[in-house]
Amino acid sequence: MNSKTKVGIIICDRYRCCAGGKCLRAMRNKEGAFSIYAGTGAELVGFTTCNGCPGGNVEYAGEEMVKNGAEVIHLATGMVVGYPPCPSITTFKSFLEKRYGVKVVVGTHPIPKKYLDMHSQLGTWENPQWEPLVEPIMCDDATRALYD
């Protein structure tokens, strides 16, 4: 029997009241960035916010999640689709990977269609640095529509 990968999720503080429904549904259905767990599954060991710009909780949260067994930390899709997207997302990813030796994945649930439409109009993700960040959560049109 395959064991589940233990994961933590850090969300943008703008969404601090989020109940995590889209992230948890995507984890359960192995959609969006959670598609990497197809065949094994994932177990949530931590869920918190960054504590607002400039992300003062990232250091503490990463340490706690790793202590609780996290093998992978996901930076939630909200950090990518918010207006504006998180300006520190690549810094958070690099820091967590180097400091805690944990894999960091940008994204959780698929990008909702309404956010893709708006960011496409704004040209937000036209910079090549965004391509690898949005790729795991882009999905197909039908799946994106389910997350609106």
Rounded percentage of the chain residues whose pLDDT exceeds 90: 89
**Closest by Cα among 23, 40, 52, 58 to 137:** 23
Residue range of the domain that includes 121: 5-146
Total domains in the fold of the chain: 1
Provide the CATH number for the domain around residue 25: 3.40.50
Cβ neighbours of residue 92 closer than 8 Å, sequence gap 6 or more: 10, 50, 55, 58, 75, 86, 104
On whether the CB atoms of residues 96 and 104 are closer than 8 A, the answer is: yes
What's the predicted TM-score (pTM) here?
A: 0.94
* pLDDT tens digits along 88-125: 999 999 999 999 999 999 999 999 999 999 999 999 99
Query: 10 Å Cβ neighbour count for 111?
Result: 23
pLDDT bracket for residue 3 (50, 70, 90): confident
